Amino acid sequence: MPGVIILWEGFIVRLIKRLSGILTIFSIFTSLSACTANANIMKNSSGVKEIKIGVTLYKQDDAFISTITKNIEEIAKEKEGKYKITINVVDAKGSLNNQSNQVDKFVSQNYDVICVNMVDRTAASMIIDKAKSANIPIVFFNREPVEEDMERWNKLYYVGSQAEQSGEMQANIIINAYKKDMSKIDMNGDGKIQYVMLEGEPGHQDTSIRTEYCVKTITKNGIELEKLADDTANWQSAQASTKMTQWIKEFGDKIEVVFSNNDDMALGAINAINNANITGNKPLVVGIDGLPKALEAVKNGSMIGTIINDSKKQANAIFNIAYTLATHGNINSVEGLENGKYIRTSHTEVTSDNVDLYLEK
């Protein structure tokens, strides 16, 4: 009997240990289940999905590009409600390597859409391949990749302006002024317009197109042009001021018109003109973009005109494409989309006759 009792007691002890182990495991499982349930509750209680849109810029200090990105951020704030929208804007500072690393970061952080203002429009394939491998759509803007690159994938989009139209409208400002009072344009009365041309960045599609269509439109209207000089100033006011200072020293008051591919360079030219000791007639300056400072210059008479390149329309188009892609909407429902991937906005001529309509109140 004592042996049986000892065996029974041993069995009871082993049974208790096993039950304790089972209870411990059950307790751990129950705790983990509770944690998971709590996590789901927190997720469901917020009820808001986050959309992440990355924006990489060739140079954030470019006046027009900066205006576009500010408009994108404002549009995103107005749109928030059903979704929390994060717009992360980064500056490549003119470095393709920086831009490539920025895209890598957006990819690693699982952004929904990447918006790219290319440093080098001919080098888009590298960035396209990065995004394609992660299945993240790209919206290019302002700097259009070459057509072959845009055909590399079906989730590539581009937003820009109608560059031909801006060149034609810039020409129209001079043509209309010439027809109204020839002497105000042809200041030396030799029957032709002596001009200089400030061009944007070499390789940028708008540089060549704006220049070509401006000159072509004037000559088609039977007005003879004589080019004194042209040079690139990379869209920048300071570079344009330096170029214009050199031209004034070389040509003096022979310069009748300054054509500028954008307003920032036009404003730089005006700065050089104001600082120069020009004894005769000052050249007329015409720009493109419709920047607030340029509109003020048109108002005060230091610019004969500018062409509004609507940054709000472009920002709205960029955001609409990105938002539709991020929320898995119907991309073909985006207003203005052509060939399933392009949006090009129109321009508006501004002279002293209508500038008050566009000045900020």
Segment 170-195, tens digit of pLDDT: 999 999 999 999 999 999 999 999 99
pLDDT at 37 over 90: no
pLDDT for 48: 73
Give Cα separations from 186 to 79, 178, 212, 228, 322 (angstroms): 51, 8, 21, 14, 48
Q: Is 8 exposed, middle or buried (0-12, 13-18, 19+ CB in 10 A)?
A: exposed
72 vs 280, residue with greater confidence: 72
What's the chain's average pLDDT? 89
pLDDT at 16 over 90: no
At residue 46 the predicted structure's pLDDT band, cuts being 50, 70 and 90, is low
Percent of the chain at pLDDT > 90 equals 84
Residue pointed to by tokens 């300071």 = 238
> How high is the pLDDT of residue 238?
98
Residue 33 has pLDDT above 60, yes or no: no
- The pLDDT tens digits of the residues spanning 282-324 come to 999 999 999 999 999 999 999 999 999 999 999 999 999 999 9
Q: How confident is the model at residue 81 (pLDDT cuts 50, 70, 90)?
A: confident
- The pLDDT score that the predictor gives to residue 44 is 29
130: nearest Cα among 107, 102, 161, 111 = 107
**Residue 248: closest CA among 281, 216, 273, 279:** 273
Residue 360: per-residue pLDDT: 72
Residue 222 exposure: Cα atoms within 13 Å on the Cβ side: 4
pLDDT at 343 over 80: yes
* pTM of the predicted protein model: 0.84
Min mean pLDDT across 33-47, 188-202, 213-227, 322-336 is at: 33-47
Q: Give the residues across from 231 on adjacent strands.
A: 198
Band (pLDDT 50/70/90 cuts) for residue 73 is: very high
Instruction: Write out the DSSP string of 170-186.
Output: HHHHHHHHHHH-HHHHS
Beta bridge partners of 285: 258
Query: How crowded is the C-beta side of 148, counted as CA atoms within 13 Å?
Result: 4
> 179-185 — which CB contacts under 8 Å span 24+ positions?
184/284, 185/256, 185/257, 185/284
- pLDDT of amino acid 29: 31
Nearest alpha-carbon partner for 160 in 118, 120, 101, 128: 118
Answer yes or no: are the C-beta atoms of 177 and 185 closer than 8 Å: yes
H or E stretch including 311?
helix 311-326
Tokens standing for residue 231: 């040079």
Q: Please compute the mean of the pLDDT values over residues 18-47 and round it to a whole number.
A: 36
Q: How far is CA 21 from the centre of its chain?
A: 63
